[in-house]
Structure formats: structure tokens, C-alpha cells
Chain A
Amino acid sequence: MLHTVNKSPFEKDSLNTCFRLARPGSDVLLIEDAVYAALAGSCFEPAMSEALARYSVFVLKADLEARGIDSGDLISGVRAVDYSGFVDLAVKNDTVQSWL
């Protein structure tokens, strides 16, 4: 299953809820303000590192660029994808759960 999250982890619990309820092996795609969760050095990094052991975590490139985040600013293991990568993830997974 593909799980998408679009809320900042510093504002809302959506990403924690996703990490609590997504089955290991799932794909997790961070879009919009959720991309801040992938920023290295934040207080959210331990939770993200732990999640990376269970999930493939992706971030949408356009949302990173809009927010001034380079690939070098990301927690290692998080992968940036463009819009066509987003489509590939959606096609590869039968179901998409959006944590709003």
C-alpha cells in the first residue's frame, strides 16, 4: 500500500499516525508540508530513522524545491521523486491511503 502524508510533523500528528498504522514494507510518500519531516537535524529525525527501517520513504521533489530544501539537507535513506515517480508509486500499489 502507498501511504501519502501532506501535513508538517511539527503541526499535526498525521505522519506519526501513518507510522503507527502502516504495515512494514509499505511505501510512504511525503508531499506538501510533510516534506519537512525529512529535514536532517530536527527533533523528528529519530522517529523518521526508525520508520526508515520499516518503510520505503519518498519525498516529492517539487515540494522540496519550493521550500528551499536540497537533497543534502535530507535524512539519509529518504528518496526524492518527481511527479512521474509519484505516478509510478501510485500504479505499483493497488491502494493509496492519504493521511490528511
Chain B
Amino acid sequence: MGDGKKILFINRRGPYGTIYAQEALEVALVGAVFDQKISLAFIDDGVFLLRPGQSTVGLQMKQFTAAYRALGDFEIHRVYVERESLQVRGMKEENLMEIVTGPDGGTRNLVKVVSSVELMDVIHSQDVLLND
């Protein structure tokens, strides 16, 4: 358990327009199953990934962003959203889906809105950075 690397997945694109965010999420979940210390950051258009109320019936695509709500099951407990990216896009904190830890870890919301300065510290404390 102790020798997992600290890996930050940086999501900077929205869902469905490209496949990148979906692939990054799958890699993050696999990494978590293999005991890596995974964190996720949502920056720029990446903040749109966490917008609730998505329905892909019309697009006939898989609504892969539902899996973000399972992050707690995968022991991924560090989810950061950059406040500056939200503001520029007319998004508020309440426009983000909640990701709860689940009954084992209480029902704390894992989604943490942070400033650029706070995110800078997160980025600089990682072993590996992966970009979508």
C-alpha cells in the first residue's frame, strides 16, 4: 500500500467533444485499483465534466461522467476544481456534481473548489502528472 506513486490527472477538456477525459478517467480508476495515490484536478473546460444533469440519450453516447461519482469506491478522495476556471465559465460551486465518499468514509463531498494558488501546491507535490 505504501509504495504507490502520487499521480495527478489534470482534466482540461469538457466531456463528449473529445474522448480524452473519458480515457483519463478509465486510467485513473485502473491506477486506483493498483494502489496508486490518485488525485484529479479539473481546470479550464475540464470543470464542465462535473456539471450535473447530463443526459446523453440524444447523442447516443455513454454518459461516462457518471463514473466520477464512484471515485470514493475506488479510494480516490482528492478531487480539486479550480475556482478561476469556474468563474470565467459562468459556473458556480453549486453547478458541480457532488461526489460522496460513501457510507464507509462518511458522506463528505470530495469535490473541493480551490484557488489557483492552492492548486499550484497540489501540482507541485506530485510524483507524476498526467494530462488529458
Contact = CB atoms under 8 A, between A and B. Distances in A.
**Are A and B physically bound partners?**
yes
- Across the A-B interface, give the 3 residue pairs with the lowest CB-CB distance, nearest first: A41-B90, A62-B58, A42-B90
Contacts of B16: 32-33, 63, 66-67
B17 A8 contact: yes
Contacts of A70: 53
Contact-size category for A: 20 to 34
Interface of A: 6-8, 10-11, 32-33, 36, 39-43, 45, 61-63, 65-70
Decide if the interface of chain B is mainly helix, strand, loop or mixed: loop
A36 B45 contact: yes
Contact of A62 (B53, B59, B88): B59
Interface residues of B, number: 23
Contacts of B61: 66
Contacts of B17: 6-8, 32-33
Contacts of A62: 58-59
B8 to A, nearest CB: 21
B6 interface: no
